[in-house]
Structure 1
């Protein structure tokens, strides 16, 4: 008989979570530790993904929350939700590399969508993804997001977002209708 996975708990991040959340986000996207999971950006971006100030700004922003996901008392994932009128913005999504590939991401994004719909009455979820991340975009498409072709430039020269390893990076807007 299969042992059930330990329960997840969802809560809003607090100031006390900042260091753990920065470490989680960095581990999911940068450096060798990120290669244990499939969301790594290590081949296209080096340097940092975020910093304590950036995480704290999301926690403190009036129309924003940093949803923190715990399993057995340990933070295993997070995502930003920001209320923007009729839609919500989904960002800063990170799942611990050791926990990737087991369906955790699907559960978290579904909960984020539910909360955006029920708490804010959002009718759409928006997100931006680096346009060359075909595998990641395909994962979001399987969750009902659609590519819009609307691009915004990558902030080249601002190392708070990483050090690009190629010159063709830009963000594409993905949108999902929330029923």
Structure 2
């Protein structure tokens, strides 16, 4: 067995977590951050509109099949409720870390309510990069902890006085 070395490298400085479509430009809002936000907002709104268009075709298909008014109402209510729940869960996920097990169970609901997810993405991108607040809080906490750890290390540890041996 080899003995662990005493000269361990210092912990690396914290690095920001990249956000989809933004990379790490959210840290200092540079390299086209504003244009990216505008592009993401327009893209998510266009995707939500396209999704609504596809849902309209599905509804018309059921109307052509003449399945009845009850099924039509159930379909509209299902997509409306799933979209509302997906919007709320997505919106909350931008400010705090969601529970992974809960997110796994709600994955299919978010798939059905994809219009709500896209609308939450659109509205969040009007004020910041989606998830920026959460990532910024985590990054600033990591930087603060790193600075605190670095600040306590002063001087050469080899030059410090050794404690007398206890017998």
**Quick check: which one's helix share is greater?**
2
Sort the TM-score into its range (normalised by shorter chain). Answer: under 0.3
User: Which structure: larger Rg?
Assistant: 2
Per the normalisation by structure 2, the TM-score is 0.24
Higher strand share: 1
Q: Highest relative contact order (Cα 8 Å, sep 6+), 1 or 2? A: 2
